[in-house]
Chains A and B, each alone.
Chain A
Amino acid sequence: MSDATLGEICVVAVADTFRGDGEIFASGMGTIPMLGARLARATFEPDLLVSDGEAFFVANNLPVGGTDKEVEGWVPFRSVFDTLWGGRRHVVMGASQIDSFGNQNIANIGAWEKPKAQLLGVRGAPGNTINHTTSYFIGNQTNRVFVEKVDTVSGIGYDRAAKLGEWVKAHHELRRVVTNLAVYDFNTPDHHMRVASLHPGVSIDDVVAATGFELVIPADIPTTRLPTDEELTVLREVLDPRSFRDRELPA
């Protein structure tokens, strides 16, 4: 369908990051990542576990902001830490900054000792990235977000993971970065970020202008796939009837 909004294209691109994950906790931070996890579970990845964002796994297709939960498990924060240290999770986090190896910053902008802007702190990003698969969703890609060097490494990238021994190398995986412009992965020999697909109507020049480091640019870059009819129906009628996705990411 050609009438898919940018928000919908991004939700589907996030959902695709969970493809093949099976029976693990699919965790999304923020509206679009959360919708991506729920859409993947509602369609092509039915064994995923998704949460209500509080303390429960929900078995039903809970809409954003919905409260009519069919609870299938209790996961207070302590269980979340157990699950993620045990590796049975794939999280999609945001990033205030990210570099070419996927080092991510959500902590602060400027020097950590006296930041220009204090943000969240590192939260769970160090533990997430060293223990299980991580992807990122960034709704405002600019060259101040895609930067040469992040101010505080919260989630660790491939260069840092490589220095931490065999166990970490075997378990650290940054699968994809989805932005408002394109989808990226790290499937290159030295794990530099690569353009995986461009969203419809976005040129490689747009992407390069919005990136502060050198991207790996393949000769042929596919266009990010559009949502299927089924995906759009589930998204619009079931998971997000009030269209929070388009509020977060206006076309």
Chain B
Amino acid sequence: MADKRITEDEAVATLSDGMTIGIGGWGSRRKPMSLVRALLRTDLKDLTIVSYGGPDVGLLCAAGKVRKLVYGFVSLDSIALEPHFRLARQAGSIPEVVEYDEGMLQWGLYAASLRLPFLPTRAGLGSDVVKNSPDLRTVTSPYADGEELLAVPALTLDAAFVHLNRADERGNAQFLGPDLYFDDLFLNAAAVGRRFLSAEKIVPTAELVSGGSFHTMKINRSMVDGVIEAPNGAHFTNCQPDYERDEAFQKDYAKAAGDPETWKAFVDTYLSGSEADYQKAVAAR
């Protein structure tokens, strides 16, 4: 039986420049932030990031690691607009931008997870999504209706990061909050060997079903290659019911975006060391 426990740094060591990485969670909710922070510590560059974006996208944009960004939105929830993402967009510093309807993003991940080249939808038709992503194609229904539909291409990932509440050491995992979001699709859309799941706590398998109903066990070990124990690993995004978003920290993060000196100080304080250093600096606030 495989013990899949690894560290964040071991996970990101499997990646290389130019890869496509899908990041689970939603906005500023249950983001795999310790894995994102590990990514920030590497020299990796020219990444394609696929995300229902929050501070994961902001941090990677601020660090200049993103060559291509695929998103339905980027928001901090309680702060509607992600300031680092905004700065990057307004400076034109992300070379390639793919802005989809939220449902299209799900469809692209679902197509990839089913190994289909595309899935049809109406969402996006008629909007400027089609104008701004000129590679998008339509497909005509082969049935009597003959309707023209948008063919959302598979968003096949080289790697996926997700953060769950509980996992066992083999990669079975559990969400205890209100929403799985699309974490299962991110894992299923990613290449075998680079599907990484962090969890607040690694527990014996039997504790998964005793800790919450079986309906919460949507991630099984065939979907996961590496398991990382990351207490407070979603910080400063939320990880309900384990903890809420750290709103004060998020405010400081957002405020620091306005000014290069403040941002440098923020990076020095929080993002220049290891994950343990980060957690220590957060605890010391």
Residue of B with least CB distance to A167: B147
Residue of B with least CB distance to A121: B73
Are B181 and A165 in contact, with the CB atoms below 8 A? Answer: no
A-B contact count (CB 8 A): 127
Judge whether B277 is part of the interface by a CB distance below 8 angstroms: no
Are B127 and A125 in contact, with the CB atoms below 8 A? Answer: yes
Are A127 and B103 in contact, with the CB atoms below 8 A? Answer: yes
Give CA–CA (A74, B89) in the complex, Å.
Answer: 35
Are A163 and B128 in contact, with the CB atoms below 8 A? Answer: no
Give CA–CA (A165, B127) in the complex, Å.
Answer: 15
Stretch at the interface among A108-116, A192-200, A207-215, A233-241: A108-116
Partner of B92, one of A55, A107, A114, A129: A114
Are B90 and A118 in contact, with the CB atoms below 8 A? Answer: yes
Residue of A with least CB distance to B75: A120
Give the size of the chain B interface in residues (CB under 8 angstroms).
39
Return A75 CB to nearest CB of chain B, in Å. Answer: 9
Partner of A113, one of B73, B75, B92: B92
Residue of A with least CB distance to B53: A121
Interface residues of B in 76-122 (CB under 8 A from A): 80-81, 85-86, 89-92, 99-104, 106, 121-122
Stretch at the interface among A20-28, A148-156, A173-181, A221-229: A148-156
Interface residues of B in 59-82 (CB under 8 A from A): 71-75, 80-81
Give the size of the chain A interface in residues (CB under 8 angstroms).
43
Q: Which residues of A contact B92 (CB under 8 A)?
A: 113-114
Q: Which residues of B contact A123 (CB under 8 A)?
A: 72-73, 101-102
Are B127 and A153 in contact, with the CB atoms below 8 A? Answer: yes
Return A123 CB to nearest CB of chain B, in Å. Answer: 5
Give CA–CA (A107, B75) in the complex, Å.
Answer: 12
Judge whether A56 is part of the interface by a CB distance below 8 angstroms: yes
Give CA–CA (A108, B168) in the complex, Å.
Answer: 43
Known interface pairs A54-B179, A77-B179, A85-B121. Does A154 touch B72 (Cβ–Cβ under 8 Å)?
A: no
Partner of B102, one of A114, A127, A131: A127
Q: Which residues of B contact A152 (CB under 8 A)?
A: 128, 132
Partner of B106, one of A55, A56, A78, A117: A78
Judge whether A44 is part of the interface by a CB distance below 8 angstroms: no
Q: Which residues of B contact A129 (CB under 8 A)?
A: 127
Q: Which residues of B contact A19 (CB under 8 A)?
A: none
Return A108 CB to nearest CB of chain B, in Å. Answer: 7
Q: Which residues of A contact B203 (CB under 8 A)?
A: none
Judge whether A249 is part of the interface by a CB distance below 8 angstroms: no
13 sampled A-B residue pairs with Cβ under 8 A: A77-B182, A85-B123, A107-B128, A112-B99, A113-B92, A114-B91, A114-B92, A117-B90, A118-B81, A121-B72, A122-B129, A123-B73, A127-B104
Q: Which residues of A approach B to under 8 Å, CB–CB?
A: 54-56, 74, 76-78, 81, 84-85, 107-108, 112-127, 129-131, 152-156, 160-161, 163-165, 167-168
